[in-house]
Amino acid sequence: MGIGFKELLIILAIALLIFGAKRLRTIGSDLGSAVRGFRKALTEGEEEENKQLTHNDKDADFDSSASKSGSKSSSV
C-alpha cells in the first residue's frame, strides 16, 4: 500500500491551499538548495578523507633517524 498519484495530488492541493503558490515555490527552492549543500558537504568530506588516507599510507610514523645514527637504547 504505497502512495499513489491521486494521493500525491491531494497532498499537493492541500499544501497549495495552506501555503499559497508563491510560498510553496520558495519552500521548494529552499529545500532544494539545502539538499545541494548537504550533498556538497558530503562529497567534500569524502574527498578530504581520501586525501588523508592516500597522504598517510603508513600505519605509524616512526622516527627512523634514531636507528640510523647508531644510538642504542638500553632496557631496564
Could you read off the pLDDT of 16-71 as tens digits, one per residue? 999 898 888 898 899 999 999 999 998 988 888 887 777 655 555 566 665 555 55
Q: How far apart are CA 39 and CA 31, in angstroms?
A: 12
For residue 11, the model assigns a pLDDT of 92
Residue 37 identity: G
Angle at which helix 21-55 crosses helix 5-19, to 10 degrees, equals 110
* Three-state secondary structure call for residue 30: helix
The structure's pTM equals 0.48
Cα Rg, the chain, nearest whole Å:
29
For residue 6, the model assigns a pLDDT of 93
Q: What is the mean pLDDT of residues 4-15?
A: 92
Query: Which is higher by pLDDT, 6 or 64?
Result: 6
Q: How far apart are CA 49 and CA 29, in angstroms?
A: 30
For residue 53, the model assigns a pLDDT of 75
